[in-house]
Structure 1
Amino acid sequence: MTRRGSTFAVASLMLLLLLIPGAHAFSVEKENPGPNHAQIEIPTSIYPIDGIGHHQENPDLNSRNTDLIRLIPSAGSNETDWVARSNLPSPREISNAICYNPDGMVLDEDGLSDMNWLWGQFISHDIDFTLTQNGRVDGAAERIDIPIPSGDLWMDPQGIGTNMIMMFRSVYNQSTGMNETPREYPNSVTGWLDGSSVYGSSEQTADWLRSGIGGRLKVTPDPNGDLLPLADENDESAPSMSFVGFSASERYIAGDSRANEHVGLTAIHILFVREHNRIAGLLESQHPEWTDEDIYQAARKYVTALLQQITYQEYLPSMNIHADYGEFDPSIDPSISNAFATLAFRMGHSQIGP
């Protein structure tokens, strides 16, 4: 189990945002520059924000609120069977055993910094989000609290032995979980890597984020560079945001509701909103005849391609888990699985250093 050795990446990212007032309008030079940004054309095909239509043979595939798929059958016909199994160790016991490291921080053998897991979190939020029942269901939310071992160094140093980690169960598809069928859990965002973290997964969110002028996204002007937009506490149309802990008028609004989780994640959201508006400005100057919609969709397509390029050409190869691309295979189901969303791609949690 490795941890990222550098804790300077987040601070460096924030320093970049603070010290470069014009960062949102700064051209990035590449070793082998591609076509000029001004050559971007109006997209001939525009995919809906909710992800419908990406797969021509199955248009609903991976769209917003479609169920996560199962790689293996449910452990029991009764969805609560596994919860009641008392012979399984507490997840806290497992994490304590696996992550125990008396020798201090373990450096990453590949020299990857915290920016690696930050990017992983950003794209994870682009492709999956299973909502918890807390505050989202009628009546009491179901819980499966996690027992904390007595004497746990961090969570029960007094040895009380009755402490628990509160954990709510996920919202499930109400047409499942009956008549011996297992529950199925909807993905509340699109399962495509389509920039939904920036633009949202619903028309309501996407429309709120747009300024309506020159294809640009809303921002909060700041002397050190534009920031994410803030919501007026009286604006009932503003997208709801998680992990805020402060008043509605102080929360940043982004395409994904988890953008306020921590400063590093917020910084990446800011960078891509600035990049969208930078591209929109270039397109507006080169094509004054284009409409707000033309510019928005062209910039959105560019930013989405940029996210995909970074992910497939830099992020995945950095961890040696990316095979060479062959060609599009319509027979492959690209749907996000329960195992991927809740387990496999949580590997980034183990990358975070002290």
Structure 2
Amino acid sequence: MIDFNIILLYMVLVCPLGVFCHGMKNYGPHGETDHVHTKETPCDVCPRYGRCVPKVQCPAHVRPASYNPSCHLDGDHIGVCCFTGSGHAAESERTSRASVSINVDDVKISHNRSRHKLKEWLARSEKLLERSSDTVVNTSAPSFGHHLSMVTYDKRADSLGRGALMNLFAAQELRARDALSEEQLSLGFAEHTDGPFCPPTPSCPTPPSQFRSLGGECNNPSIPSWGAVNTGFERLLPPAYNDGVWEMRRSTIGITLPSGRAVSIALVLEGSHPSPTHNLMFMQFGQFVAHDISAGVVFGIGNGSAISCCVGDGEGFLPLELQHWACAPIATDPQDPFFGHFRHTCLNFVRAQLAPASDCSVGYAKQMNGATHYPDLSHLYGSSPEKFGSLRGPGGLLNTFNDYGRELPPLTVREECLTAKDGAACFESGDNHGNQLISLTVLHTIWTREHNRIARVLTKLNPGWNEELVFLETRRIVQAEYQHIIFNEWLPLLLGPEIVQMFKLAPSAGYSSTYDPLVNPSLTAEFAAAAMRFGHSIVDGKIQIQSPHSHDVYETISIPEVMFQPSRMRLRRFLDQLLNGLSWQPMQNVDPFLTEGLTSYLFRGGNPYGIDLAAINIQRGRDYGLRSYNDYRRLCGLPPFVDFSQFPPRAAQRLASVYNSPKDIDLWVGGLLEEPVDGGILGPTFAHIIADQFSRLKIGDRYFYEYGSDVNPGAFTSSQLAEIKKVTLSRIICDNRDGIELMAQPPDALLRADLPGNAPVPCESTLIPAMNLIKFKEQ
């Protein structure tokens, strides 16, 4: 007989406020429902101290064994009760598992074989260098431009990458010996399995510094490597490596996935769909943010030269005996509608550098982030002592190139640009990527000027400060301005008000109290290799230079003509002209349409062809082990697509022409096919992945600009914080323009200047408020 008193007691304990918990559907690997609880009312309070979070922030909820009742996030949104944080295992799996215990002999064998294998690989790499005419990319080839966009000059990255390979080899060996199962690897149950390489632990000052470290280390005293440069991207879901460790994903039926170029031709079309609201500055600021927090690093050969995987620049695949072990070239059809004209059947592609786990453990491959994971302007200031030293100038300023009275970023001595004629400019930046696109160089310029503008004011306000203090205080203020613009202006226009509310991303009225030392702020692979790459869809293939008075277009610049060719910055009127143009010119909508400047002519230099960025994105997602698009829909609480007919007819036909099943669709491709969320420009899958990331970057960053002295060692006073929250991107532009042609600016710098209510106003207008730096005078 059923004891209803026991049932009633259980319900009261589980839902203390009398609101019964509603279990959620858990989808199995093929989209079927594993179990469904029939109660309809979500919890107001989660049982057993669970936290109510958006579904994307509780990966365990998609596990068949999980129990994650639904709950009220706020008055409008439903989340899930999470008991496992960002861990991948369900609660029952975590509590019932025994700790991984591996035979000592297996560990010794794996370590020895790992060291031997690394030695073999490095010797093979050196041997290939003897055939450099075949194995190294020609500096005039488009693939060299791609290499420049992903190269790092940080010497620490190479040694860490080799250590990561050793630990990876150890994982492969233990997996082959059945000492570790694929599930143990994927769910992180091998965290106590030491690898043969252990990265050095950051040395943190006591008491903690009031200023952010250069490399992002020591933000969290308990785990000082979180968010640091040269550490690995984390995961929303376990990777889909074919061997569970590093081998690239295959189709669900075991065959090779379609070529990234084939998918690009079928699904990523040429077309122009201008945004009715957002301007090209929105796109450019987004790329500026992306470069600051995410910098994938590729393997190099010898002293870091670009690896070639193709004969010539694409005439065919190099023979396997000449291919570097990091090669994963993309096949192109001999009848390719573009590359076929040049008899290219191979697109060069080099796999990403790996990073070791901070706890020395073995596990699946994690790709290295060559930037700090935090929005801290590391691409302006550098993230290594060497780079930092080269960028600093006297008096607390950043170094600049004085071009007849105009401050531009300093010139670089490296061959980083495609034009090397006398008088051609090639600029230095904190990440070596500031020359990639000339509109990006413009943003590097105005933020460099912003640092120097504030430093000069602080020097006058505080004559007792030495130049070290001036520099660090200025950097702290500029970083805060930048973070405020991201969260106050850019994210709301990207995600829409509902997603911003759901993930609590809006700035607070005063100090924020959301810091959680248990949240890892590090970027996820899904964010870096797929969701944040939505930005490639919103690029316009041409930059328009407009008249400052009539706004008629009097010059149009093709984007491939100004990639790694920033010499136009030396034209006196150009910076103002381009800033004006970015305000008026619409960006493209987020959709599966890319300009041919990115799919045919990217990094072309003087060649009649370039590379295909869409194909590269697809292959990069597979390199990172990203799961299929459907898996991330489930993670976000969306139903998976079980048949191509569920897509719009044109998309369904094109998808079916390349993919064997909807279960094979790449995340980047699927995300671009979605309709945007209300008030935003992204579909729900990308919106949730990006919102989750910026939530981590807020909640897990002790130095976030809104935190008070109870959290942040370098907290602003309440009056200083109030001044920082006045700052807008329009103010940054107005304060750092040349003032030759730009006299007015739309109040919202990220929306089209022809929108009602956003007409340009004089830079002196109160509609573009200014920060009062007197609040930063030392009392």
TM-score by length of 1: 0.75
Q: How many Å apart are 1:202 and its aligned residue? A: 0.9
Residue of structure 2 in register with 1:202 after alignment: 384
Residue 125 (structure 1) aligned with residue 291 (structure 2): yes
Candidates 460, 470, 489, aligned match of 1:295: 470
Alignment of 1:56-75 (within 5 A): 56-75=221-240
Residue of structure 1 in register with 2:406 after alignment: 225
Q: How many Å apart are 1:113 and its aligned residue? A: 1.5
Residue 148 (structure 1) aligned with residue 148 (structure 2): no
Letter in 1 for 2:256: N
Residue of structure 2 in register with 1:274 after alignment: 449
Instruction: Give, in whole Å, the separation in 2 of the partners of 1:132 and 1:73.
Output: 22
Instruction: Give, in whole Å, the separation in 2 of the partners of 1:225 and 1:214.
Output: 18
Letter in 1 for 2:246: E
Give deviations 1:56-83, integer Å, cap 9, x for gaps: 4322211111111122223232522537
Letter in 1 for 2:452: N
Q: How many Å apart are 1:94 and its aligned residue? A: 2.0
Instruction: Give, in whole Å, the separation in 1 of the partners of 2:245 and 2:220.
Output: 33
Q: How many Å apart are 1:86 and its aligned residue? A: 4.6
Instruction: Give, in whole Å, the separation in 2 of the partners of 1:331 and 1:174.
Output: 21
Q: How many Å apart are 1:337 and its aligned residue? A: 1.4
- Identify if the C-alpha distance between structure 1 residues 223 and 172 changes in structure 2 by more than 3 Å, giving closer, same or farther: same
Letter in 2 for 1:222: D
Q: How many Å apart are 1:224 and its aligned residue? A: 5.7
Q: How many Å apart are 1:296 and its aligned residue? A: 0.2
- Identify if the C-alpha distance between structure 1 residues 180 and 209 changes in structure 2 by more than 3 Å, giving closer, same or farther: closer
Q: How many Å apart are 1:208 and its aligned residue? A: 1.0
Letter in 1 for 2:536: H
Letter in 2 for 1:308: Q
- Identify if the C-alpha distance between structure 1 residues 210 and 350 changes in structure 2 by more than 3 Å, giving closer, same or farther: same
- Identify if the C-alpha distance between structure 1 residues 230 and 180 changes in structure 2 by more than 3 Å, giving closer, same or farther: closer
Letter in 1 for 2:295: F
Residue 89 (structure 1) aligned with residue 271 (structure 2): no
Calculate the aligned-residue CA RMSD, in Å.
Answer: 2.9
Once the two structures are overlaid, the 10-residue window that deviates more, 64-73 or 318-327, is 318-327
Could you tell me whether the CA contact under 8 Å between 2:232 and 2:357 is conserved in 1?
Answer: no
Residue of structure 1 in register with 2:216 after alignment: 51
Could you tell me whether the CA contact under 8 Å between 1:55 and 1:61 is conserved in 2?
Answer: yes
Q: How many Å apart are 1:332 and its aligned residue? A: 2.0
SS in 2 for 1:108: strand
Candidates 337, 343, 347, aligned match of 2:530: 343
- Identify if the C-alpha distance between structure 1 residues 58 and 146 changes in structure 2 by more than 3 Å, giving closer, same or farther: same
Instruction: Give, in whole Å, the separation in 1 of the partners of 2:217 and 2:248.
Output: 35
Instruction: Give, in whole Å, the separation in 2 of the partners of 1:73 and 1:300.
Output: 37
Alignment of 1:230-249 (within 5 A): 230-231=411-412, 233=413, 244-246=417-419
Q: How many Å apart are 1:305 and its aligned residue? A: 0.7
Residue of structure 2 in register with 1:285 after alignment: 460
SS in 2 for 1:322: helix
Residue of structure 1 in register with 2:190 after alignment: none
Pair member with larger Rg: 2
SS in 2 for 1:271: helix
Could you tell me whether the CA contact under 8 Å between 2:250 and 2:256 is conserved in 1?
Answer: no
Could you tell me whether the CA contact under 8 Å between 1:68 and 1:184 is conserved in 2?
Answer: yes
Residue of structure 2 in register with 1:192 after alignment: 374
Letter in 2 for 1:140: H
Corresponding residue pairs, total: 296
> Which protein is richer in strand relative to its size?
2
Q: Percent identity?
A: 27
Instruction: Give, in whole Å, the separation in 1 of the partners of 2:466 and 2:374.
Output: 27
Letter in 2 for 1:288: P
Residue of structure 2 in register with 1:264 after alignment: 439
Instruction: Give, in whole Å, the separation in 2 of the partners of 1:304 and 1:175.
Output: 28
Instruction: Give, in whole Å, the separation in 2 of the partners of 1:329 and 1:246.
Output: 48
SS in 2 for 1:221: strand
Give deviations 1:108-145, integer Å, cap 9, x for gaps: 24x21221121111111111112111343899362111
Higher relative contact order structure (alpha carbons within 8 Å, sequence separation ≥ 6): 1
Could you tell me whether the CA contact under 8 Å between 2:228 and 2:372 is conserved in 1?
Answer: yes
Give deviations 1:7-51, integer Å, cap 9, x for gaps: xxxxxxxxxxxxxxxxxxxxxxxxxxxxxxxxxxxx971121011
Q: How many Å apart are 1:226 and its aligned residue? A: 0.6
Letter in 2 for 1:45: Q
Q: How many Å apart are 1:165 and its aligned residue? A: 1.4
SS in 1 for 2:403: coil
Candidates 419, 426, 432, aligned match of 1:251: 426
Could you tell me whether the CA contact under 8 Å between 2:230 and 2:369 is conserved in 1?
Answer: yes
Candidates 297, 314, 334, aligned match of 2:489: 314
Q: How many Å apart are 1:92 and its aligned residue? A: 1.9
Letter in 2 for 1:195: L
Instruction: Give, in whole Å, the separation in 1 of the partners of 2:515 and 2:388.
Output: 28
Once the two structures are overlaid, the 10-residue window that deviates more, 195-204 or 248-257, is 248-257
Letter in 1 for 2:292: D
Letter in 1 for 2:293: I
Instruction: Give, in whole Å, the separation in 2 of the partners of 1:292 and 1:170.
Output: 39
Once the two structures are overlaid, the 10-residue window that deviates more, 180-189 or 330-339, is 180-189
Instruction: Give, in whole Å, the separation in 1 of the partners of 2:336 and 2:347.
Output: 12
- Identify if the C-alpha distance between structure 1 residues 279 and 254 changes in structure 2 by more than 3 Å, giving closer, same or farther: same
Residue of structure 2 in register with 1:32 after alignment: none
Residue of structure 1 in register with 2:280 after alignment: 114
SS in 1 for 2:396: coil
SS in 2 for 1:264: helix
Letter in 1 for 2:332: I
Give deviations 1:181-206, integer Å, cap 9, x for gaps: 42222211110111101101111111
Could you tell me whether the CA contact under 8 Å between 1:312 and 1:322 is conserved in 2?
Answer: no
- Identify if the C-alpha distance between structure 1 residues 83 and 171 changes in structure 2 by more than 3 Å, giving closer, same or farther: farther
Instruction: Give, in whole Å, the separation in 2 of the partners of 1:258 and 1:246.
Output: 15
Instruction: Give, in whole Å, the separation in 1 of the partners of 2:449 and 2:294.
Output: 24
Q: How many Å apart are 1:250 and its aligned residue? A: 4.8
Q: Which runs of 5+ in 1 are unaligned?
A: 1-42, 234-239
Residue of structure 2 in register with 1:167 after alignment: 349
Once the two structures are overlaid, the 10-residue window that deviates more, 278-287 or 322-331, is 322-331
Could you tell me whether the CA contact under 8 Å between 1:78 and 1:180 is conserved in 2?
Answer: no
SS in 1 for 2:278: coil
Q: How many Å apart are 1:172 and its aligned residue? A: 1.6
- Identify if the C-alpha distance between structure 1 residues 180 and 284 changes in structure 2 by more than 3 Å, giving closer, same or farther: closer
Could you tell me whether the CA contact under 8 Å between 1:77 and 1:181 is conserved in 2?
Answer: no
Instruction: Give, in whole Å, the separation in 2 of the partners of 1:299 and 1:116.
Output: 25
TM-score by length of 2: 0.36
Letter in 2 for 1:129: A
Residue of structure 2 in register with 1:98 after alignment: 267
Q: How many Å apart are 1:351 and its aligned residue? A: 1.0
Could you tell me whether the CA contact under 8 Å between 1:131 and 1:171 is conserved in 2?
Answer: yes
Q: How many Å apart are 1:288 and its aligned residue? A: 1.5
Instruction: Give, in whole Å, the separation in 1 of the partners of 2:395 and 2:466.
Output: 7
